[in-house]
Copies of this chain bind each other. A is one copy, B any other.
């Protein structure tokens, strides 16, 4: 299906919200945050390695 079909849709997103840095209690939300953020950390780490010729090892448990 079409990627963008914003024709005359109302905005449905309030964009990124600020969150407190404390454990997310809701299981599913925590899982989602973990997936997204692990990806982000990995990307940043790859960039660090590539840009600076450094070795970066990351281990995430759970």
Could you list which residues of chain A lie within 8 angstroms of chain B, going by C-beta atoms?
A: 19, 21-24, 30, 33-34, 37-38, 40-41, 44-45, 47-48, 50-62
Contacts and interface: CB of A to CB of B under 8 A. Distances in A.
Given A48-B38, A51-B21, A51-B24, A58 B56 contact: yes
How many identical subunits does the complex contain? 2
A55 B38 CA distance: 11
A47 B30 contact: no
A55 B51 CA distance: 26
A60 B54 contact: yes
Contacts of A33: 51-52
Contact of A21 (B23, B47, B61): B47
